[in-house]
Amino acid sequence: MSDTQIFLQVIWKVTKYFPLVPLVAIVGLAWLSIDERRSNHARTKRKLRQAQQNFDYANENYLDAAIMDLNAAEERFRAMIREKKRTYPPPNEIGSRKKYLYISIPRKGRNIQDERNRK
């Protein structure tokens, strides 16, 4: 007997002695098919929602807001750099014998060079 004949004989015997088994198998396979379709539908909806969001990001208002945020961040960064340059000495003067005054907020009308020259 070939494998196919053995398989068909087993199916025939199971159907003959246990008539509910094929019915349960058919219902189970139908349930798996429906479940797979649901998951595919949910996956497709997620992809469609993501594609819509990606498309909306190309909106002019979004781009303008992103450019404004970027410019604000650059301005904050430049302000931090200016503050650091004002507060700390240049790297080539660190090893010299001059005394440096490290302040975080300079006084009005004076800068660090004036403070250094007075001492």
**Burial profile 91-100: b = 16 or more Cβ within 10 angstroms, e = fewer:** eeeeeeeeee
Average pLDDT, whole number, for the chain?
77
The kind and range of the H/E element at 82 are: helix 60-87
pLDDT digits (tens, 9 = 90+) for 21-42: 888 888 988 988 888 888 888 8
Place of tokens 């198998």: 25
Predicted structure pTM score: 0.32
Tokens 């008539």 sit on residue: 19
How confident is residue 116, by pLDDT bands cut at 50, 70 and 90?
Answer: low
Give the structural domain span for 64: 3-89
Task: Give the N- to C-terminal CA distance of the chain in Å, as an integer.
Answer: 109
Query: Do both 97 and 82 map to the same domain?
Result: no
Percent of the chain with pLDDT over 90: 13
- Whether 75 shows a pLDDT value over 60: the answer reads yes
pLDDT band at residue 60 under the 50/70/90 scheme: confident
Q: How many structural domains compose the chain? A: 2
Query: Do 83 and 49 lie in a common domain?
Result: yes
At residue 7, what are phi and psi to the nearest 5 degrees? -60, -45
Q: Same domain for 82 and 27?
A: yes
